[in-house]
C-alpha cells in the first residue's frame, strides 16, 4: 500500500510538471511517463503541446480544462489533481483485483490437481468395467459353443430316431443334460436338459442386459464428470489468459501455463482427458460389438430350441400333446378345472367349519342342562308326612351353565311321579325337561321301612342306653359297698339340702369325712389329697374304681395309706 501511494504521488507530480512545462513552450512537444509497482504497471502519463494547445492524459484518460489561453491556471491544476486521483483510485482497485486473482489461481491449481486424481479414478473404473465385459463375453461365447454342440447332438439323434422309431433306453442309460448345457448319463431326459439350458441362456441374457445397463450408466457418469471438468478448466483459462503463466507455490508440483495446459513431469491434463475420451469411445464401440454378438448367439439358441419337439412324459404334460405349447394349454385347462373344484371344496369346508362351531356350542349347553337335571333328587318317603317335594340344581359343562327345578309326588311308599325342567344361560338358551314315575318292587315292598335318619337316631339311643346301664351298674356296685343304715350329719348340710342323703351316708360309712371344726364345707375346693383319701376308703370298702382314676391319684393314695398305718 505504501508503494501504491508513492506511485500515485509520483504520477501526480509528473503530470503537473508536464503541464507546467507545456505552458511555457510555443513549439510542438510530447512528454510521456509511467508509474508501476514492481513488474505491474499502474499508470501512463502523457502531455502533448501543439503551439499553445496542450493535451494531457493519465492512464489513457484525457485531462480537461488544464490550459486556458496558453497558461496553466490554479483551477486547471486543481482539475489535474482531481482527475489524477480518480485515475489512481481505479489503479488501486486494479492492483487489489490482481492480488485476488492471484489467490484464486493458486486455489484453482489445487482444484485442478484434485480433478486430475478424479479422472484417474474414473479411468480405473472404466478398465474394471471393460474386464467384466470381456469375462461376460467369453462366458457367452462358451455357452453359444455348448448350445451348438447340443444342437448337433440333437440333430444326429433325430436322424437315428427317424430311422429306428422310438427306442427306449436301458435302465439308467439315457442321455442327460446339466443346467450348463453339458450332457451326462444319470437318469434325466433330453427335454429336461433343454429346458435347463434355456433357463441358463435366459439368465445369461438378463445378466448381460443388467451389466450393460450398469456399464452405460458408468460411461454416462464419466462423460458428465469430464464435461464438468472441462467447464472448470475453461473458467480457469480466462484467468490464466489475463495473468499469463503463474507458477505455483514452492511445494506445489502442479503448474498452470497460459494456454490452460497442466504440466507435471511431462504429462498435461488436456492430453489425459483426450486419452480418456478416446478410451471411453473405444469401450462403447467394443460393448456395442459384444452386445450384437450376444444377441446373435441368443437368436441362434432360440431357433435351435424351438426346433426341438418335447417328449411327453407321464405326469408332466397331458397325454397326446403334439408339442410343448399344446401340452401346456391342455394342462392349463385341467388346472383351471381343478382350481374351480378346489374353490367349491373350500366353500364347503368353510360352511362345515361354521356348523361345527355351532354344534360345539350346542354340545356345551346340552352338557350343562344334563348336569343340572341330574342334580334333582327326592327325599326318602316313609309313608308319613307330606307327599309333595321340590328340588333345584345347577349344572356346568365347559364354559356353559344351566339351572334345573324338579317336583316329586309320592302316591304312597311304593309309587312316585317326578317332573323336571332345565335351561342354559348361554347362546340361544337351550332347554330340556323330563317326566318320570318310580315304583318300589320286590319282597317287602308293602312293609314298613325305616329311613336312614331314623336308623341313625336309633343307633344313638342304643349307645346312650348302654352308657346309662353301665353307670347304673357302677352305682349299684357302690351302693352295695355302703351300709345305708349308717349315716353322719354335718351342721352345714341341712336335711333339705339336695346332697344331704349322699353326704350323710358316705360319712356314716367313713368314705368322706368332715373338717376338724365338725362341718363338711361342701362349698370349698377339694384338694388332690382329699380326693385320694375318698378313693382309697372306697377301695377299702370293696368299691370297683376306674383304673385311670387310680393311676392318676396313686402318689396321693400311697401317702394317705402310710398316714393311716402309722
Per-residue model confidence as pLDDT tens digits over 428-462: 888 999 999 999 887 655 556 566 777 888 899 99
For residue 131, give the nearest of 211, 213, 225, 220 by alpha carbon.
Answer: 211
Confidence of residue 5 (pLDDT cuts 50, 70, 90): very low
For 323, the enclosing helix (H) or strand (E) is none
Residue 275 resides in a domain? yes
C-alpha cell at 82: 482531481
What is the structure's pLDDT at 256? Answer: 43
Contact 419, 435 (CB under 8 A): yes
Do residues 337 and 281 both lie within one domain?
A: no
The pLDDT, as a whole number, for residue 250 is: 37
Of the residues 394, 419, 441, which one is the last residue of a structural domain?
Answer: 441
What is the predicted pLDDT for the residue at 415? 92
Q: How many domains does the chain have?
A: 4
pLDDT of res. 416:
94
pLDDT at 218 over 90: no
Q: C-alpha grid cell for residue 342?
A: 378346489
Does residue 462 sit in the same domain as residue 434? no
Q: What is the pLDDT of residue 436?
A: 94
Model confidence at 315: pLDDT above 60: no
Q: Is the pLDDT of residue 99 over 60?
A: yes
Cell numbers found for residue 362 = 350346542
pLDDT in the model for residue 155:
53
| CA 40/CA 28 separation, integer angstroms | 31
- When pLDDT is cut at 50, 70 and 90, the band that residue 541 belongs to is confident
- Out of 64-78, 512-526, 538-552, the most confident range is 512-526
- The residue that leads in pLDDT, 493 or 67, is 493
- Domain end position, chosen among 259, 281, 306: 306
CA 339 – CA 358 distance, rounded (Å): 29
- Please check the confidence at residue 262 and state whether its pLDDT lies above 50: no
Q: Of the segments 101-105, 128-132, 388-392, 525-529, which one has the largest average pLDDT value?
A: 388-392
Q: Quote the percentage of the chain above a pLDDT of 90.
A: 12
Q: What is the pLDDT of residue 520?
A: 87
Q: Between the CA of residue 61 and those of 43, 45, 56, 64, 535, what are the distances in Å?
A: 10, 9, 8, 9, 164
Query: What percent of the chain lies above the pLDDT cut of 70?
Result: 53
Average pLDDT over residues 205-227: 77
pLDDT score of 106 more than 50: yes
Whether residue 127 is contained in a domain is answered as yes
Query: How many C-beta atoms lie closer than 10 Å to residue 29's C-beta?
Result: 14
Question: Band of the pLDDT at 232, cuts 50, 70, 90?
Answer: low
Closest by Cα among 379, 385, 393, 383 to 453: 379
Q: What is the pLDDT averaged over residues 52-64? A: 54
For residue 381, count CB atoms less than 10 angstroms from its CB and return exposed for 0-12, middle for 13-18, buried for 19 or more.
Answer: buried
CA distances from 88 to 20, 69, 75 (A): 20, 28, 20
Distance from C-alpha of 372 to C-alpha of 404, rounded to nearest angstrom: 5
For residue 431, the Cα-to-chain-centroid distance in whole angstroms is 50
Confidence of residue 406 (pLDDT cuts 50, 70, 90): very high
Give the residue-averaged pLDDT of 48-58. Answer: 54
Flag whether 313 is in a domain: no
Are residues 473 and 522 both part of a single domain?
yes
- The model's pLDDT over 353-395, given as tens digits with 9 standing for 90+, comes to 888 877 888 888 899 999 999 999 998 887 777 899 999 999 9
Confidence grade of residue 167 (pLDDT, cut at 50, 70, 90): very low
Indicate whether 396 and 517 sit together in one domain. Answer: no
Q: What is the mean pLDDT of residues 215-233?
A: 70
The pLDDT of 257-262, averaged and rounded, is: 46
Is 396 exposed, middle or buried (CB count within 10 Å of its CB: 0-12, 13-18, 19+)? middle
Co-location of 158 and 291 in the same domain: yes
Residues 171 and 278 in one domain: yes
How far is 310 from 5, CA to CA, in rounded Å? 100
Same domain membership, residue 437 and residue 480: no
Tell me what pLDDT residue 434 has: 94
Look at residue 169 and tell me whether its pLDDT is greater than 80: no
The per-residue pLDDT for 427 is: 76
pLDDT at 462: 92
Question: Is 201 found in the same domain as 163?
Answer: yes
pLDDT at 178: 45
Average pLDDT over residues 302-330: 58
Tell me if 311 is assigned to some domain: no
Cα distance between residue 328 and residue 3, in whole Å? 97
Residue 448 falls inside a structural domain = no
Write the CB contacts of 428 (distance below 8 Å, at least 6 apart in sequence).
none
| Residue 397, number of CB atoms within 10 A of its CB | 18
Rounded to whole angstroms, the Cα distance separating 543 from 482 reads: 9
Would you say residue 447 lies in a domain? no
Q: Is the pLDDT of residue 197 over 60?
A: yes
Cβ–Cβ < 8 Å for 37, 99: no
Distance between CA atoms of 27 and 46, rounded to whole angstroms?
Answer: 16
pLDDT digits (tens, 9 = 90+) for 479-516: 666 777 888 888 998 989 888 888 888 888 777 888 88
Residue 516 grid coordinates:
376338724
Q: Are residues 154 and 272 in the same domain?
A: yes
Instruction: Give the predicted TM-score (pTM) of the model.
Output: 0.26
DSSP H helices, 264-420, are: 269-306, 324-374
**441-455 burial, b for 16+ CB within 10 Å, e for fewer?**
eeeeeeeeeeeeeee
Residue 46: predicted pLDDT: 57
The Cα 13–Cα 157 span in angstroms is 111
Both 186 and 161 in one domain: the answer is yes
In a domain, 64, yes or no: yes
Q: Is the pLDDT score of 222 beyond 60?
A: yes
* Per-residue pLDDT at 432: 92
Rounded to whole angstroms, the Cα distance separating 423 from 361 reads 14
Angle in degrees, CA 94, 96, 102, rounded to 5: 100
Confidence of residue 124 (pLDDT cuts 50, 70, 90): confident
Three cell numbers, residue 192: 429336461
Per-residue confidence (pLDDT) for residue 402, from 0 to 100: 95
> Can you tell me whether residue 49 is helix, strand or coil?
strand
For residues 254 and 438, give the distance between their C-alpha atoms in angstroms, rounded to a whole number. Answer: 124
How many angstroms separate the Cα of 440 from the Cα of each of 374, 411, 444?
20, 12, 10
Q: How confident is the model at residue 258 (pLDDT cuts 50, 70, 90)?
A: very low
Write down the mean pLDDT value for the chain: 70
Indicate whether 162 belongs to any domain.
Answer: yes
Domain final position from 396, 413, 441: 441
What does the alpha-carbon distance between residue 283 and residue 483 come to, in Å, rounded to a whole number? 151
One domain for residues 57 and 160: no
- 8 Å CB contact between 255 and 264: yes
pLDDT band for position 191 (50/70/90)?
low
Domain shared by 83 and 126, yes or no: no
Q: Measured between alpha carbons, how far is residue 326 from residues 196, 318, 320, 378, 504 in Å?
A: 20, 9, 9, 82, 135
> Could you tell me the residue range of the domain that residue 329 belongs to?
318-441
Amino acid at each position: 500500500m505504501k508503494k501504491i501511494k508513492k506511485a500515485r504521488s509520483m504520477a501526480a507530480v509528473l503530470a503537473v510538471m508536464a503541464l507546467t512545462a507545456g505552458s511555457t513552450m510555443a513549439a510542438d512537444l510530447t512528454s510521456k511517463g509511467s508509474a508501476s509497482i514492481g513488474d505491474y504497471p499502474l499508470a501512463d502519463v502523457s502531455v502533448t503541446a501543439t503551439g499553445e494547445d496542450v493535451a494531457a492524459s493519465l492512464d489513457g484518460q484525457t485531462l480537461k480544462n488544464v490550459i486556458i489561453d496558453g497558461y496553466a491556471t490554479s483551477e486547471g491544476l486543481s482539475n489535474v489533481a482531481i482527475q489524477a486521483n480518480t485515475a489512481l483510485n481505479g489503479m488501486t482497485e486494479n492492483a487489489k483485483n490482481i492480488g485476488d486473482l492471484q489467490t484464486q489461481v493458486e486455489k484453482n491449481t489445487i482444484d485442478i490437481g484434485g480433478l486430475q486424481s478424479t479422472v484417474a479414478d474414473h479411468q480405473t473404473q472404466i478398465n474394471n468395467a471393460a474386464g467384466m465385459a470381456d469375462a461376460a463375453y467369453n462366458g457367452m461365447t462358451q455357452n453359444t459353443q455348448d448350445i451348438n454342440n447340443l444342437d448337433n447332438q440333437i440333430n444326429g439323434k433325430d436322424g437315428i430316431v427317424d430311422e429306428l422309431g422310438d427306442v427306449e433306453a436301458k435302465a439308467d442309460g439315457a442321455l442327460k443334460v446339466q443346467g450348463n448345457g453339458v450332457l451326462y448319463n444319470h437318469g434325466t431326459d433330453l427335454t429336461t436338459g433343454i429346458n435347463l439350458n434355456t433357463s441358463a441362456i435366459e439368465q445369461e441374457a438378463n445378466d448381460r442386459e443388467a451389466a450393460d445397463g450398469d456399464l452405460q450408466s458408468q460411461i454416462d457418469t464419466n462423460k458428465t464428470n469430464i464435461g464438468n471438468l472441462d467447464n472448470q478448466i475453461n473458467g480457469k483459462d480466462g484467468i490464466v489468459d489475463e495473468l499469463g503463466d503463474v507458477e505455483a507455490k514452492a511445494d506445489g508440483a502442479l503448474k498452470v501455463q497460459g494456454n490452460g495446459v497442466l504440466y507435471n513431469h511431462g504429462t498435461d491434463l488436456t492430453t489425459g482427458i483426450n486419452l480418456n475420451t478416446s478410451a471411453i469411445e473405444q469401450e462403447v464401440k467394443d460393448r456395442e460389438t459384444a452386445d450384437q454378438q450376444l444377441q446373435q448367439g441368443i437368436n441362434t439358441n432360440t431357433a435351435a430350441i424351438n426346433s426341438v419337439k418335447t417328449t411327453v412324459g407321464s405326469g408332466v404334460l397331458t397325454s397326446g400333446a403334439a408339442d410343448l405349447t399344446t401340452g401346456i394349454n391342455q394342462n392349463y385347462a385341467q388346472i383351471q378345472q381343478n382350481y374351480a373344484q378346489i374353490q367349491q371344496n373350500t366353500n364347503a369346508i368353510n360352511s362345515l367349519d361354521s356348523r361345527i362351531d355351532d354344534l360345539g356350542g350346542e354340545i356345551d349347553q346340552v352338557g350343562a342342562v344334563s348336569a343340572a337335571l341330574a342334580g334333582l333328587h327326592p327325599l326318602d318317603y316313609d309313608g308319613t308326612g307330606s307327599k309333595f317335594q321340590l328340588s333345584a340344581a345347577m349344572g356346568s359343562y365347559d364354559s356353559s351353565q344351566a339351572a334345573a327345578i324338579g317336583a316329586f309326588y309320592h302316591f304312597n311308599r311304593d309309587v312316585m311321579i317326578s317332573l323336571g325342567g332345565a335351561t342354559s344361560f348361554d347362546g340361544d338358551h337351550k332347554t330340556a325337561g323330563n317326566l318320570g314315575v318310580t315304583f318300589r318292587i320286590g319282597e317287602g315292598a308293602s312293609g314298613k321301612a325305616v329311613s336312614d335318619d331314623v336308623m341313625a337316631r336309633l343307633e344313638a339311643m342304643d349307645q346312650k342306653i348302654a352308657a346309662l346301664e353301665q353307670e347304673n351298674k357302677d352305682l349299684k356296685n357302690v351302693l352295695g359297698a355302703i351300709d345305708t343304715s349308717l349315716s353322719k350329719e354335718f351342721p352345714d348340710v341341712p336335711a333339705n339340702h339336695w346332697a344331704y342323703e349322699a353326704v350323710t351316708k358316705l360319712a356314716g360309712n367313713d368314705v368322706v369325712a368332715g373338717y376338724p371344726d365338725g362341718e363338711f364345707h361342701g362349698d370349698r375346693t377339694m384338694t388332690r389329697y382329699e380326693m385320694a383319701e375318698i378313693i382309697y376308703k372306697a377301695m377299702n370298702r370293696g368299691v370297683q374304681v376306674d383304673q385311670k382314676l387310680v393311676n392318676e391319684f396313686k402318689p396321693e393314695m400311697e401317702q394317705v395309706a402310710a398316714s393311716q398305718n402309722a
